[in-house]
Structure 1
Amino acid sequence: MTQSTKRVFGSCCGKSRQFYFQNDMKTAKTAMSTLRITPNQCIALMEALQQQSDIFQKTGGVHNAALATPDHIFLQRSDIGRHNALDKLYGHALIQQQSLTNRVLIFSGRISSEILLKAAKMRISILLSKSAPTTLAIELARDLNMTTIGFIREKSFNVYSHPERMIK
């Protein structure tokens, strides 16, 4: 058995020397979902994420992560750390044995390669963020068949990968 020497470098939270061997991506799941979403749903879900976070409303100092259908949020978590907010969300879903197939992940923070890989392990096919993805996250999203939409603000956003899940 030979190990691939292709490396994927990521920079996150000061770990700029962290890398993954291509074989490490085997734990990530290629998105197979046929879930689709409209532009209005993307904007409405981001607005709902911000409105549902009382801590964010009071402080502006936390990250939020939520699981949703294209029409509504059913689980939301906040934390000062963006990774922690996502981990809390995923942990709760695992404990409750909730299926995450055909779910949308809504996120307030930057989409790093590490965040994207966590979403892939959750079997997420559509990832929405108020912030931007890194170049590496976009490349991974393309490889893992994930739709990544960022800079969702007011009436605009950018689709970075797999736009075929957008209903026009």
Structure 2
Amino acid sequence: MTVFDERADVFSHTGGVHQAGLATNHQIEASFIDIGRHNALDKLFGFILLNKFPVKDYCILFSGRISSEVILKVSKIGSGILLAKSAPTDLALKLANDLQITAVGFIRNTSLNVYTHEGRIE
């Protein structure tokens, strides 16, 4: 998440955009920004579809709040892990649990909250 934050040049200048990315433990494969958090995630999904990118071994990085709609998009994308800088809603956590998605929020430096399916996080 530190590298993800470092790539947020527009956010550091404006404070007014969201970012969505695709990453492994070792690198960020792609990241997209937009004024809308859903649009940033949609741009990432478009990249994945256009490039026929295999997402099973990747996690989604996200700057926004974890809503039920975000969880549904992550499920459609096919990734099992969502790492976010912000908070989840109660409905989002229920969906994440039902859809077998690991939802992690409030990621800051050395702390984070794992809300669902914590066995995937070391």
Identity across matched positions, percent: 51
Q: 2:29 matched to 1:74?
A: yes
Q: 2:84 matched to 1:129?
A: yes
List alignment gaps of at least 5 residues for structure 1: 1-45
Structure 1: how far apart are the matches of 2:14 and 2:34?
12
Structure 1: how far apart are the matches of 2:75 and 2:52?
17
TM-score normalized by structure 2?
0.96
> Per-residue displacement from partner, 1:108-148 (whole Å, max 9, x unpaired)?
00010000000001111110000011100101111111110
Partner secondary structure for residue 3 of structure 2: helix
Q: 2:111 matched to 1:156?
A: yes
Partner residue, 1:109:
64
Q: How far apart are 1:48 and its partner, in Å?
A: 1.1
Partner secondary structure for residue 79 of structure 2: coil
List structure 1 runs of 4+ shifted beyond 6 angstroms: none
How big is the alpha-carbon RMSD for the aligned residues of Structure 1 and Structure 2? 0.8
Residue 65 of structure 1 is aligned with which of 20, 23, 34?
A: 20
Structure 2: how far apart are the matches of 1:104 and 1:139?
19
Residue 3 of structure 2 is aligned with which of 24, 48, 53?
A: 48
Structure 2: how far apart are the matches of 1:48 and 1:61?
19
Structure 2: how far apart are the matches of 1:144 and 1:70?
22
List alignment gaps of at least 5 residues for structure 2: none
Higher RCO, Cα 8 Å, sep 6+? 1
TM-score normalized by structure 1?
0.71
The size of the alignment, in residue pairs, is 122
Partner residue, 2:120:
165
